[in-house]
Amino acid sequence: MKTGRAAMPKQKRFSLSDVETIRWMAARGHSGIQIARTLRRDPLSIRHKACALGIRLRPERAKTRLRILIEAAIYQALIDAAQRRGTTAPKLARLLLITILSDGLIDAILDVPRSGKAKPIVKKRRQSA
């Protein structure tokens, strides 16, 4: 006798390769939906498996935030520059700040002589041999 319910499809088990892909992609900030598309799985099953493995799929909240108030004309110029580069204004502002600080360009941009005792704000990365 049939109960009228559709038969549940047999669930495919996660292989070791699938688990490693979940770990790898989650560590690099990919969402559950992106991982599901890569593995051709249901996003809910990815979330359940990640939870069972103790893997977070939500990105960590930023510990530090910076809020800068600027004039509307300057903000519009930033938006325009970002659009020309195919990005967003916040991403472009972040990239500009990172570049300025990591390359030590503050004094050059502000046209201020640098004192001999000043320490760099951002340490330069050591290149591995």
- Return the amino acid letter for 126: R
Name, in order, each residue with C-beta under 8 angstroms of 39's C-beta and a sequence gap of 6 or more.
Answer: 18, 21, 22, 46
* 5 or 14, greater pLDDT: 14
* Radius of gyration, alpha carbons of the chain: 24
Q: Would you say residue 1 lies in a domain? A: no
Do 21 and 42 fall within a single domain? yes
What range defines the domain where residue 43 resides?
16-53
Under the banding of pLDDT at 50, 70 and 90, the label for residue 3 is low
Q: Would you say residue 128 lies in a domain? A: no
Given a contact cutoff of 8 angstroms between Cβ atoms, the answer to whether 23 and 53 are in contact is: yes
Q: Nearest 5°: CA angle at 63, between 101 and 76?
A: 55
Do 39 and 72 fall within a single domain? no
Do 39 and 67 fall within a single domain? no
**In this predicted model, what pLDDT tens digit does every residue of 32-66 receive, in sequence order?**
999 999 999 999 999 999 999 999 988 777 667 78
Count Cα atoms within 13 angstroms, Cβ side, for 19.
Answer: 9
Q: Identify which of 75, 32, 69 has the alpha carbon closest to the alpha carbon of residue 50.
A: 32
Give pLDDT, residue 117: 58
Q: Would you say residue 129 lies in a domain? A: no
Question: 39: helix, coil or strand?
Answer: helix
Do 77 and 108 fall within a single domain? yes
Q: How many structural domains compose the chain?
A: 2
Least confidently predicted of 25-29, 53-57, 80-84? 25-29
